[in-house]
Amino acid sequence: MNLISLFYPFFKIGLFGFGGGLAMLPFIFQAAQQISDMTMQDFSNLVALSQITPGPLAVNAATYVGYNAAGFLGAAVATIGVCSPSFMIVLVVSEMLEKFKESKVYEAILAAIRPATVGLVAAAGLMICKSSLFNMQAVHEIKKTLQSGAFNLSILNIADAFNVAECVVFAVCIVLILKFKVSPIKLMLSVAFAALAISFI
């Protein structure tokens, strides 16, 4: 594996990935597909693992992709690539921000970036939902049936398109976070331990 071809995509992600880890996920998935044969299911597992391990999501994900592509050296190169742009930019602009924070141009740039960041985070969420909550093979079968002009789908056919257990966990997590303000870290660890316990039953 050419380490420069591994470093460059993650350097770009670090340079243009506004909005934090979740907003960077579509870019990281794109890089992972270019570098290796990572599937959406693999990427969903990567995101779950990155969420429950210490450190920023984007850095953990980049480290995992780099390791998957070229071992420990690949992990180091991808991590340095994704971290170095923000490190260099902060060094350069930290003084400038204080001077220009009242600037209308600065406010206009931030106003444009904010909705774009929301879009990137939403895209990342939809990507993960697609592989986690849906049985894509069943979805494709339903799509083929509809495209053939046959509309004899039963409720069971449609139900097969959903991963029911995952959908229940998804709904419970949303309620616990939004309604009861449960810590995401506690929630992720609880779900992980519950899944581990169930696997031994």
Question: pLDDT tens for residues 5-35?
Answer: 999 999 999 998 877 788 888 899 999 988 8
Task: Say how far apart CA 22 and CA 125 lie, in whole Å.
Answer: 8
pLDDT per residue over 117-166, tens digit each?
A: 889 889 888 988 988 899 988 888 888 888 877 666 666 678 888 999 99
- 23 contacts 121 by C-beta, under 8 angstroms: yes
Pairwise CA distance, residues 51 & 45, whole Å? 10
Q: Which pLDDT value is given to residue 7?
A: 94
Whole-number pLDDT of residue 74: 94
What is the chain's alpha carbon radius of gyration, rounded to the nearest angstrom?
20
Query: What is the pTM for the complete model shown?
Result: 0.71
DSSP state of 55: S
Q: How far apart are CA 159 and CA 139, in angstroms?
A: 10
Listed by start position, the domains of the chain span 1-133, 134-201
pLDDT of residue 156: 61
Cβ contact 80:17 at 8 Å = no
d(CA 41, CA 133): 11
